[in-house]
Chains A and B, each alone.
Chain A
Amino acid sequence: MEIPDNNLVLQTKKITKNYPGVKALDNVDFDLYRGEVHCLVGKNGAGKSTLIEILAGSIKPDSGIVEILGEEYMQLNPTKSIALGIETIHQENFLAEDLTVAENIFLGNLKRNKAGFFSISRCIKEASEIFASLQVNIDPSVLVNTLTPVEKKVISIAKAFSEEVKILILDEPTAALDEEVENKLFKTVKKLLAKDVSVIYISHNLEEIFLLGDRVTVLRDGRKVSTRYVKEVDERKLINDMIGEEKNEITRDKKAGTKDGKLEAINFSRRGVVKDVSFSVHRGEIFGIGGLVGSGRTELVSLIFGVDKKDNGRLLLDGKDITPKNPVDAINKGIGFLAEDRKSNSLMLYRPIYENISVVDLIKRSGAFLKLKNEKKSVQDISDKLNIVAPSINQLVIRLSGGNQQKVVFGKWLLANSDILILDEPTVGIDVGAKEEIYFLIDDLTKQGKIIIMISSDTPELAALCDKVGIMRAGKMVKILELDEVTEENILKYSIGSQS
């Protein structure tokens, strides 16, 4: 190394963290030098978040050592981490929206006047000084809730200046920002570097890494793949490291689509969220939607299903207009929506399996009274077909594993016999066995001539299953990959925003 070792501020040695069924981190060594920007990249689930949460003290590692400024720690806690000068800036801003900017800057360390009382004027004055040194043009006396998202991000970072920060962790700070502001943000970061602060920078945007980074470490499936100087790598090398050479276990015969009948989504728009998205998908096909979290994927399908109000957009099935006005209308027109985050959007956790599965079908039926026998029989059939592991269909959903819960959500739409199925992250947080069963199920649905639209952050999954993949970026569908273009590499390349 050309940098002398006494400049080492942080080092992790053989950090390992297991979750049920997943090795989140596997013997990861990572180091950080004074005044450098060390970037951390990898696919979703590669272990980036777990690593930084261990450094921030919010997760305890199973084994391994964290060394900070020469001191070794088996585990940290948030208070300890902050005391050691580690500041984490999360993707979301954790600011007190109803307080002033100045109060937020000094929240952990509010300024007092001579009498010992809190002094807002001192806070404002000192915040102004910090802003001036950063060349930030924000009035410290205004309320945070009047600021733009970008200004809030800048303030989150400026907060670091009010404290004795030695290590700043930035978790995808630019995911919601446009370029102009990114520059401002970068300037702020550079000011920090000049103060000998070290930065760990997580980003999906490779361009930023080349702009800002000194070194870059790639994580994949919880393991460190490489650490290199940014000068010595190119995008291709990084993407290769991120994907690896793993063989795909998932296979689907993509030519099985019947090609008659076609669903067209035309010009779906919602101001500031989704910009003029159009695509089409045949019966028996899977249309994948790729892109980063926050790129407008979920927002797009919410418009299609009629959850959110749209400014524009029509849905045609075989040329016939079936644009849903609201979810009720969508379901009546044969569309099903497996929403992301099953616990908050799709399940009644404290109700039994059978009530969860029959709800859509039940609502569609006429008649005031339930036909409990029929209901339980048809739910039992679905449950057997999906291989839901539970003592009986009277079991409360809260007591099922993630995979089985997701099968319950699938069961709901299977029983409703939806013709078009929108799946938003259908395999998040479930074990490998259940994943495969769900892939099999999705494939089976396409063979019945159903139309599937599927959002996923799991790139191999999208690449292996989908006939076409539309890539979302900043609310736009920037690219639609056709059958033979659907590869992991392409999906990743267009998602992270470099067309080179």
Chain B
Amino acid sequence: MDNKSQNNVAVDINKGRSRAAALFRKQEVFLAIFIVVLGAVVAIVNPLFLSIQNFFNIVLAVSITGISTIGLSLVLISGEFDLTLGALMSVQAILFATFATKIGTGIAIVLVLLLGIVFGLINGLLVTRIKAHSFIITLALLSVYSGIALVISNGEWVSMKGIFPVFKGKLFEVIPNPAIVFVIVVIVFAIVLRYTKFGRILYAIGGNVQSAYLSGLKVKNYKILTFTLAAILYTIAAIVLVSMIGTALPTSGDVYMLEAFAAAVVGGVLLGGGKGSMLGIFLGIIVFGLINNALVIMNVDPFWRDVVVGSIILAAVAISGYGASRK
């Protein structure tokens, strides 16, 4: 039949791209293999790696990064950028510590979550109103939020004075509490992305914004909602962080932004939008925890850590044919 030959022609034309796309779809498979291989190597060098204790150490170490990475991933899937991640976490950490010590933890949690919604709305509104790339707009906002964190803290750290130590604790003396929050967030957003209308709409907007618009989607509203959800997740990450270490710095969140971008990208989220699964994102986050943990366990000089991490991002992205599937 003629249709078949036509189809073959199309396959030929797209061979290069579809091959990359096929690999792309297997990003999760690739990451899983990577994790198993790396784990095996480390386990041979140091059997301690395989202990329950160490497993939870890894999950604990990525909890904060993980929660914020999921927020960022929502924005990336919708085809936008959000560079405010770290700065917003810093502001929220300072605000939470300040409120918690002055007016009580309960009210503080409610207040910063509400403020998180406000910050998210501001991000979303500006991105959808100003005709500039969200990279630029959120870069400017990053600066604004960082400044706010410094202003309200007067550049100094705020101690929790021992209150609200929940996230220092462990459930049944084994499972670190931050890990529980992380896993809950993973499960919730796995369901959101896969089984809800909102999740599908995120992919539709990121997949082709013009098509989404012509298909009757209120694109701007959904983008604002996405930025807001992301800001709420950054806020949760900030609360857990402050509780865990007992103090808030005006730069507490700053380290998380690059890691979150890296984890999302390694996890298969496409810069440009429309691609990325919760499983992939989760595995991407775990890869980072694993590498950090392995370096410690294998006694690698900590100064080499960043070099190794960067090299692994490059390798992962190159092997999975990342950019190749998109011009």
- The stretch of B125-133, B168-176, B210-218 in contact with A is B210-218
Please report the C-alpha to C-alpha distance between residue A21 and residue B4 in the assembled complex, in whole angstroms: 13
B residues near A55, Cβ cutoff 8 Å: none
Q: How many chain B residues touch A (Cβ–Cβ < 8 Å)?
A: 39
Interchain nearest-CB distance for A366 vs B (Å): 9
**A348 to chain B: closest residue by CB:** B207
Q: A350-B326, A355-B200 are in contact. Are A339 and B214 (CB under 8 A)?
A: yes
Residue-wise, chain A 389-420 has the 8 Å CB interface mask toward B (1 for contact) of 11000001011111110000000100000000
Residue-wise, chain B 2-45 has the 8 Å CB interface mask toward A (1 for contact) of 11101101110110011001000100000000000000000000
- The stretch of B59-67, B104-112, B190-198 in contact with A is B190-198
CB pair A359 B18 closer than 8 Å: no
Residue in A330, A351, A412 whose Cβ sees the most chain B Cβ within 10 Å: A351
- The stretch of A32-40, A81-89, A367-375, A459-467 in contact with B is A367-375
Q: Is A347 an interface residue when CB atoms closer than 8 A count as contact?
A: yes
CB pair B197 A359 closer than 8 Å: no
Q: Is B204 an interface residue when CB atoms closer than 8 A count as contact?
A: yes
CB pair B196 A368 closer than 8 Å: yes
Per the 8 Å Cβ criterion, residues 172-205 of B in contact with A are 195-201, 203-204
CB pair A370 B196 closer than 8 Å: yes
Q: Is B120 an interface residue when CB atoms closer than 8 A count as contact?
A: no
A residues near B213, Cβ cutoff 8 Å: 327
A residues near B200, Cβ cutoff 8 Å: 355, 359, 362, 370
**A387 to chain B: closest residue by CB:** B3
Q: Is B159 an interface residue when CB atoms closer than 8 A count as contact?
A: no
A residues near B217, Cβ cutoff 8 Å: 328, 359, 363
B residues near A368, Cβ cutoff 8 Å: 196-198
Interchain nearest-CB distance for B6 vs A (Å): 5
Q: Is A320 an interface residue when CB atoms closer than 8 A count as contact?
A: no
Q: Give the dominant DSSP class at B's interface.
A: helix
Q: A348-B208, A349-B208, A350-B21 are in contact. Are A434 and B3 (CB under 8 A)?
A: yes
Interchain nearest-CB distance for A20 vs B (Å): 4
Residue in A355, A363, A367, A432 whose Cβ sees the most chain B Cβ within 10 Å: A363
CB pair B216 A332 closer than 8 Å: yes
> Which one of A350, A362, A400 lies within 8 Å of B10 (CB-CB)?
A400
Interchain nearest-CB distance for A355 vs B (Å): 7
Residue-wise, chain A 322-338 has the 8 Å CB interface mask toward B (1 for contact) of 00000110111000010
CB pair B7 A389 closer than 8 Å: yes
A residues near B223, Cβ cutoff 8 Å: none
CB pair B198 A347 closer than 8 Å: no
> Which one of A330, A347, A400 lies within 8 Å of B208 (CB-CB)?
A347
B residues near A364, Cβ cutoff 8 Å: 216
CB pair A348 B274 closer than 8 Å: yes
Please report the C-alpha to C-alpha distance between residue A346 and residue B211 in the assembled complex, in whole angstroms: 4
Q: A328-B216, A363-B215 are in contact. Are A355 and B203 (CB under 8 A)?
A: yes
CB pair B9 A363 closer than 8 Å: no
Please report the C-alpha to C-alpha distance between residue A355 and residue B2 in the assembled complex, in whole angstroms: 26
> Which one of B9, B18, B212, B215 lies within 8 Å of A399 (CB-CB)?
B18
Interchain nearest-CB distance for A176 vs B (Å): 23
**A343 to chain B: closest residue by CB:** B208
Interface size class of A (residues with CB under 8 A): 35 or more
CB pair A369 B207 closer than 8 Å: no
CB pair B201 A363 closer than 8 Å: yes
> Which one of A21, A360, A370, A401 lies within 8 Å of B215 (CB-CB)?
A360
CB pair B218 A328 closer than 8 Å: yes
CB pair A401 B21 closer than 8 Å: no
Interchain nearest-CB distance for B194 vs A (Å): 8
Residue in A305, A399, A432 whose Cβ sees the most chain B Cβ within 10 Å: A399
Interchain nearest-CB distance for A435 vs B (Å): 11
B residues near A120, Cβ cutoff 8 Å: none
Q: A345-B211, A347-B211, A398-B18 are in contact. Are A434 and B6 (CB under 8 A)?
A: yes
CB pair A344 B197 closer than 8 Å: no
Q: Is A433 an interface residue when CB atoms closer than 8 A count as contact?
A: yes
Interchain nearest-CB distance for A341 vs B (Å): 9
**A339 to chain B: closest residue by CB:** B214
CB pair A400 B18 closer than 8 Å: no
Please report the C-alpha to C-alpha distance between residue A305 and residue B215 in the assembled complex, in whole angstroms: 11
B residues near A441, Cβ cutoff 8 Å: none
Q: Is A431 an interface residue when CB atoms closer than 8 A count as contact?
A: yes
Please report the C-alpha to C-alpha distance between residue A334 and residue B14 in the assembled complex, in whole angstroms: 35
A residues near B215, Cβ cutoff 8 Å: 327, 331, 359-360, 363, 412
Please report the C-alpha to C-alpha distance between residue A433 and residue B2 in the assembled complex, in whole angstroms: 7
> Which one of A339, A345, A348, A403 lies within 8 Å of B203 (CB-CB)?
A348
A residues near B218, Cβ cutoff 8 Å: 328
Please report the C-alpha to C-alpha distance between residue A332 and residue B270 in the assembled complex, in whole angstroms: 32
CB pair A433 B195 closer than 8 Å: no
Residue-wise, chain B 143-184 has the 8 Å CB interface mask toward A (1 for contact) of 000000000000000000000000000000000000000000
Please report the C-alpha to C-alpha distance between residue A433 and residue B6 in the assembled complex, in whole angstroms: 9
> Can you identify 23 A-B contacts, CB atoms within 8 angstroms?
A20-B6, A21-B9, A327-B216, A345-B210, A347-B208, A349-B207, A350-B207, A350-B325, A351-B203, A351-B207, A359-B215, A362-B200, A363-B197, A369-B195, A372-B195, A389-B7, A396-B18, A398-B17, A398-B18, A399-B11, A401-B7, A431-B2, A431-B6
Lowest 9 A-B CB distances belong to which pairs? A348-B207, A401-B10, A331-B216, A20-B9, A433-B2, A348-B208, A389-B3, A401-B6, A351-B207
Interface residues of B (CB under 8 A from A): 2-4, 6-7, 9-11, 13-14, 17-18, 21, 25, 195-201, 203-204, 207-208, 210-218, 270, 274-275, 325-326
Q: Add 7 more A-B contacts to A360-B216, A364-B216 (CB < 8 A).
A: A327-B216, A339-B214, A350-B274, A367-B197, A399-B14, A399-B18, A434-B6
